[in-house]
Amino acid sequence: MMSRDRPPPLAALASSLSDGESFLAAVAGPFRRAIRVHPRRGTPSGWGTMVQVPWSPSGLFTSDDADPGDFLDHHLGTIYAQDAASQLPVVLLDPQPGETVIDVCAAPGSKSTQIGLALGDEGLLVCCDASPPRRRVLSENLARQGVASAVVTPMPVHILAQRHPGCADAVLVDAPCSGHEQRSSKQVERMAQRQLELLEQASRLVRPCGRLVYSTCTPYVEEDEQVVAAFLASHPGWAAEACVAPGCDGDLRGAGGIRLWPQRQGSEAFFAARLRALDGDAVQCVSLNGIVPPAGVELSAWLPHTGLMCWRRGNAVFAGTAQAASCALPSEARGLLLGHGEGERFRLEPWSAQALIERGAAAVVVSHADAIRLWAGEELDLPIARPALARTASGGPLGELAGASGRWRLDIPSRMRRTGLR
């Protein structure tokens, strides 16, 4: 039982804030709704007034009654529903095309997809998660956003660090945490110990001069500033970097981290800090490069100048960055699954059709109203002579049209269809 002389951690935190009462009233939510806009899939439409998320160039606050699932933009991958605070760690990580980046707690994929889109079609994103069901959701979200640089691996982080130390330019540790619910001091301490162990394992993956972002969606100082301080105290080869982001608060210890507060920014409570591996820290850098698979098919039918590799595994055809194609790690998903079959029997996967369209594959343009009807499963009279890819006038990738006798439908499985979209 907690000592009467020791207040619960949430109350102790509130007592240290000038607006502590407002914090306690807001910490349970609800929080401002937000989305993130895909850089290559056109402009969101029909959302009404949206406000820029100050710390995220691709983030927008929406109205509280805007359910993303009601919008065609969500199903086309034009937007990704993601809390505004959740967008901050990747902004601090600043992934660059060509880099190797590891997301050690990747599922369900909000930050992984954000990293993958920043990498574009160059580099490698390694996505780790301990849960098989969560990895399946992660793989699906990467496919929905058309990320071609990712490898989803079941390899535990500590094993990955043992076998491939110093392999990454950047690592994200969005750690499991206590969230914003009331916890006992012992619960918070146990979680902080788990976080510190994970941070130590992940740090071994970073090359000299590389960077690591540690983040949580909890306000508890014990899981935030104190975890970072404990790590730095025992790792002299690392340093915290001073971070500033528009609209954000500094951390509570003046160590260079960033805080978001529900009563101030309107988001869930959040903490993030960027750490740097110092030059000269003795790390044996072990590459993730493996065997490059033999070429499978050419993408020239859709994309004459794609930078992606294509390869075949049995009846399945994949496309991805060279680094993803040759990554030595075991994987449950890798690059983009383009489709199955050969020649005239080859069938393009719906999400890969969208990925090709966003990369410039030739596509017929349909109106927003017709796109909604197609997504609902209707057949339309369209002025085309043969199956073709289709997009909306605003740039959203629909997919592949199929049909006969001038009647065309969108080739997507019934589980993806929705009626009444905006």
**Residues with Cβ < 8 Å from 102, sequence gap 6 or more?**
125, 126, 128, 160, 167, 168, 170, 171, 172, 202, 205
Retrieve residue 208's tokens.
Answer: 């000299």
Give 403's Cβ-side CA count (13 Å radius): 20
The band of 287, judged by pLDDT with boundaries at 50, 70 and 90, is confident
Q: Where are the domains of the chain?
A: 9-16+84-277
Q: Which residues, 6 or more positions from 254, have their beta carbon under 8 angstroms from its beta carbon? A: none
Question: Of all helices (H) and strands (E), which one includes residue 290?
Answer: none
Contacts by 382-386 with C-beta closer than 8 Å and gap 24+?
Answer: 382/406, 382/408, 384/408
Residues forming a β-bridge with 224: none
Rounded-to-integer distance, Cα 400 and Cα 391, Å: 9
Is the CATH number 3.40.50.620 carried by domain 9-16+84-277?
no
Where residue 422 falls among pLDDT bands split at 50, 70, 90?
very high
pLDDT tens for each residue of 309-368: 888 888 899 999 999 999 999 999 999 999 998 877 889 999 999 999 999 999 999 999
- Any catalytic annotation for residue 217? yes
pLDDT digits (tens, 9 = 90+) for 211-222: 999 999 999 999
Catalytic residue selected from 105, 177, 217, 310: 217
- Global pTM reads 0.95
Tens-place pLDDT, residues 234-286: 999 999 999 999 999 999 999 999 999 999 999 999 999 999 999 755 567 88
> What angle separates helix 132-144 from helix 110-119, to the nearest 10 degrees?
40
pLDDT for res 231:
97
With helix as H, strand as E and coil as C, how does 342-405 read? Answer: CHHHCEECHHHHHHHHHCCCCCEEECHHHHHHHHCCCCEECCCCCCEEEEECCCCEEEEEEEEC
N- to C-terminal Cα distance for the chain?
A: 52
